[in-house]
Chain A
Amino acid sequence: MVQNFDKIILFLKYFLTISVVVTLNFAIPRVMPGDPILNLFGEEAYLYEGILMELKREFGLDKPLHEQYLLYLLNLFSCNLGFSFSFQRPVSEVVAEYMLRTLILTIPSTILGIILGIYLALLIVWKGGERAMVIMILIYSIPAYWLGMVFLYIFSFKFGLFPLGGAVNSVIYINRLILPFLTIVIHIIVLNAIMGRAILAGTLRDSFVLTAISKGLKNSLILRRHVLKPSLAPIIALASIEFGFAFSGSTLVEIVFSYPGIGMLTWEAIKTRDYPILQAIFFIIALVVIIANAIADLISRAIDPRLRS
């Protein structure tokens, strides 16, 4: 009975979160000043009032806000993300196209970044590496886009190893992924090393670790079983947030490398006030973060008996 009540509370918590997210997704783009219809045409375009009204009607922007909101909810329930003003295509098609490009870049970099970052954190914690930590903090303080510009300057401009933007032909598409991949992965490694060190250092101070050391267990065994395993819950929570960010893309890195991913799409949609695109992107990102969080909760409970109690 108590367990069922807990589940209901948990469900309500997630339902409420999604409801708030959906409402904010609808409201925020509309609060921004600027007319999406005017922006569909060039800066020299003059549209008579009648034409503007007709277009607003076509896109459903002439309806009162509460009706637009209801329509948005109904569409969402039927998995219809709407129709993009600026692309003149269904939003689901556009978002899928850009999302795929982002995920090609961010999923491998996130996985690699988390693994290497945590490994590095373990090394620092175990072997002591204050100097390494200073370097990590220094690197982390460099904004990713700036690091990207430095890479672009050195590897593309100076050494000509990669194109400066846009692949020269689509067969070598992979080579334009390398620099943004490196930029993102370095940031994720450093973030995980810094956060991981803080988490692991806390565990290292626990008495059961001291017991394991005094029992004369092998270092690798102590690290794996007595340091890493009890620290996994917060690490997984951290990873779930990072996977959420993986879906949102890295707008500035994408802009630096002229890479048309979801970050760039978000930026373009803001510039053109393409409400349906913005709503869809924010909704998907929020949903991914919530789901990733829920999965992280489940995994943490499964692997850490302290959380179950």
Chain B
Amino acid sequence: MKKSILISITVVCLLAGCISPENESKKLERMFTIGTTMPIKSINIFSDYYFGILRDLMMDRLVSIGEGGTIHPELAESWETKENGKTWIFKLRRASFHDGKTLTAEDVAFTINYLREKVPEYRSHLALVEKAEAVDERTVKIVLSKPWSNFLWNLAVVNILPKHVWENVEKPLEFVDTKATIGNGPFVFESFDKSSGLLVFRANENYWKGKPKVDKIVFRIFTNDQAMLMALIKGEVDTIYFYARGIDPAIVSGLLGKENLSFIVVDNLGVDNALWFNCQRYPFDVKDFRIAISYALSYEEYAKYIAAGYAEVPNAGFVPKGWKFYKETRKLEKNLSVTNEILEKLGFRDCNGDGWRDYPDCTAFEMKLAYRTDIVESSRLAEFIKRDLENVGLKVRLQPLDNPSFRQVLDRDKTHDLAISRTTMWGMGMWAGYATGYFDARNIGWANVADQRLLEIIDALLNETVEEKRRELIYKLQDIYAEELYAIPLYWGKIVQPYRSDKVSGLVYNPMMGIIGDETWFKILIK
């Protein structure tokens, strides 16, 4: 009986061909298989956020972001600014779209105008763009309503669309035809099979940088990390990918020593986890109170236990090392006597002997600590922080929120007291750059800062295009972050990217896009 069951299973499997036919096709072409848990649902780069993450594979941008947040030429081979950063003129390279049509300045101008008119997200990214126009076939002029020094950073997320495809598309978010994937990028979209969880791209033979060193990229979509990691260990996928994230450092130790598994470890230019104060709520609007909290936190433990050692204790200046204009500020440290002394001075003492500090008027004090439940490290950190703050008598109520609730509370309502969240590398560069978007109450503003001192620096930075002066402003910005502690970085982490060294080598980690950045496609070696 048992034997016949085994035979039946084997026969079914063989008939179904489930014993890895990918190896067969891999022999014929250089195929790179990536596992991902990004829940891709459609092939529209605007309405499907996660498919949009992959748009650089299909469509180039004028400029891209490289090491230290520096801007690199991409489709634009050069550019100049006039009128103190109000007018930008870009000279384009020769390139053609996947359907063979030449990419011209008309396409670039169309893309900028089209996106700011029709795609909500870009209406914010390109809010200051007055108009874009083609000067000649390879020159495009973009006029802004006022100087905007950080304009190039926003252009780094604008992928050039073919005018001949999109000009008649009234509702870009609903356009799911395969034509919506046409660009000039290194890969051509081939297929998306949601049922099988497969997304396939093929190398663009006519790419202006040359044909990529991989013929085909296959994304295999998983919905649980454990299955994806098993697939990696087993060699069903060559590596794994999720935007702005490596694997959870806590599971790295379990993977070390696995046969043929190697790791790329790089500094994260985003802040893995930070503690954000709502700086327009008492007592978080009091600088000394924020400083008191900063001395109550166990940074070394966070780096050791939450980031499994793939992190270091951060500086008060928030911006991680590795950024072009990074400035050394004081290292954060734990010192409970400083915390207690400041809290006593501010009048936060235990009035009724229940073990918890109260407001200076002796009413009960409790802080809500919001955190994102979709980021596993944040959930763990919340427990650590609660413990640390309760150690100094500050009562904390945890407020676990899924992503939509978190955004509602922090982005819109601003009803939080404290919150734990990460910043991405691209997010760090938003607004005036160097995390200003996350601090400034006029933007995303998780720290909800309306402090004129900070806002003046941000405004100056937005207007300043001279590099020397910008550097001075960015140094000042980090000084004020360190002094005011509107948010406390909890650790500066590293990104750990695992891959199968028996199947692939030459992966390069782009600080913004990770291993699917352009650098990988010309260095990768499929074995």
B405 contacts A33, C-beta separation under 8 Å: yes
Residue count of chain B within 8 Å CB distance of chain A:
66
- Cβ 8 A contact of B427, one of A43, A87, A257, A271: A43
Instruction: Evaluate contact between A175 and B430: CB separation under 8 angstroms.
Output: no
Of A35, A41, A264, A272, the residue contacting B408 (CB under 8 A) is A35
B16's nearest neighbour on chain A, judged by CB, is A175
Report Cα–Cα, A34/B370, bound state, in Å.
14
Bound Cα distance A178, B14 (Å) = 13
B41 within 8 A of A: yes
Task: Please give 18 more A-B residue pairs, beta carbons under 8 A apart, in addition to A161-B10, A171-B17.
Answer: A44-B427, A44-B430, A45-B124, A46-B430, A47-B124, A88-B176, A89-B174, A89-B176, A163-B18, A165-B223, A166-B197, A166-B220, A175-B17, A175-B18, A254-B223, A258-B221, A258-B222, A259-B223
Cα distance, A175 to B402, chains bound together (Å): 34
Asked whether A268 is an interface residue with its Cβ less than 8 Å from the other chain, the reply is: yes
| Residue A303 CB within 8 A of the other chain | no
* Interface mask (B379-418 → A, CB under 8 Å = 1, otherwise 0): 0000000000000000000000111110111011000000
- Determine if B197 and A167 form an interchain contact, defined as CB atoms under 8 angstroms apart: yes
Tally of A interface residues using CB under 8 Å? 60
Could you say which residues of chain A place their CB within 8 Å of the CB of B47? 40, 86-88
On chain A, the residues within 8 Å of B409 by CB distance are: 33
**Chain A residues closer than 8 Å to B305, beta-carbon distance:** none
Among B20, B22, B221, B236, max chain A CB count under 10 A is at: B236
Contact status of A45 and B121, CB under 8 A, knowing A35-B404, A157-B230, A168-B20: yes
Whole-angstrom distance between the Cβ of A140 and the nearest chain B Cβ: 22
Interface residues as binary, B99-136 with A (CB distance below 8 Å gives 1, 0 otherwise): 00000000000000000000011011001000000000
Interface string of B21-46 (1 = CB under 8 A from A): 11000000000000100010110100
Q: Would you call A46 and B120 a contact (CB within 8 A)? A: no
B residues sitting closer than 8 Å to A (CB atoms) are 9-10, 12-13, 16-22, 35, 39, 41-42, 44, 47, 49, 52-53, 120-121, 123-124, 127, 173-174, 176, 193-198, 220-224, 226-228, 230-231, 233-234, 236, 374, 401-405, 407-409, 411-412, 424, 426-427, 430-431, 437, 443-444
CA distance A271 to B195 in the complex (A): 20
User: Which residues does A use to contact B, with CB under 8 Å?
Assistant: 32-36, 38-48, 51, 54-55, 86-89, 97, 101, 149, 152-153, 156-157, 160-176, 178, 254-260, 264, 268, 271-273
Closest residue of A by beta carbon distance from B226: A149
> In the complex, what residues of B have CB within 8 A of residue A86's CB?
41, 47
Residues B16 and A174 in contact, CB atoms below 8 Å apart: yes
**Of the candidates B198, B233, B424, B437, which one forms a contact with A46 in the assembled complex, judged by CB atoms under 8 Å apart?**
B437
Task: Given A161-B18, A174-B16, A258-B227, decide whether A47 and B222 contact each other with a Cβ distance below 8 A.
Answer: no
Per the bound structure, the CA–CA distance linking A272 and B408 in Å amounts to 12
Q: Specify which chain A residues have a CB less than 8 angstroms from the CB of B230 in the assembled complex.
A: 152-153, 156-157, 164
Contact partner of A162 among B18, B44, B176, B222, CB < 8 A? B18
- B198 near A169 with CB under 8 A, answer yes
Q: Give the residues in chain B near A164, CB-CB below 8 Å.
A: 222, 227-228, 230-231, 234, 236
Chief secondary structure at chain A's binding surface: loop
Contacting B402 at CB < 8 Å: which of A34, A43, A51, A255?
A34
- Return chain A residues, CB-CB under 8 Å to B374: 271
Chain A residue nearest in CB terms to B39: A268
Q: Smallest Cβ distance from B193 to chain A, in angstroms?
A: 5
14 A-B pairs in the complex with CB atoms less than 8 angstroms apart: A32-B405, A33-B408, A34-B403, A40-B47, A43-B427, A47-B120, A97-B194, A162-B18, A164-B228, A164-B236, A167-B195, A170-B195, A172-B18, A258-B223
Q: Which residues of B contact A260 (CB under 8 A)?
A: 194-195, 197, 223
In the complex, are the beta carbons of B424 and A162 less than 8 A apart?
A: no
10 nearest interchain CB pairs?
A34-B404, A166-B197, A175-B16, A175-B18, A167-B196, A166-B220, A44-B427, A165-B222, A164-B231, A88-B47
- Do A160 and B234 touch (CB < 8 A)? yes
Whether A38 contacts B407 in the complex (CB less than 8 A), given A51-B123, A166-B196, A166-B197, comes out as yes
Q: Quick check: A43 and B424 within 8 Å, CB to CB? A: yes
Q: Is the CB of B52 within 8 A of A42?
A: yes
- Report the minimal beta-carbon distance from A141 to chain B, rounded to whole angstroms: 22
In the complex, chain A residues whose CB is within 8 Å of the CB of B430: 44, 46
Closest chain A CB from B45 CB (angstroms): 12
Residues of A within 8 A of B443 (CB): 46
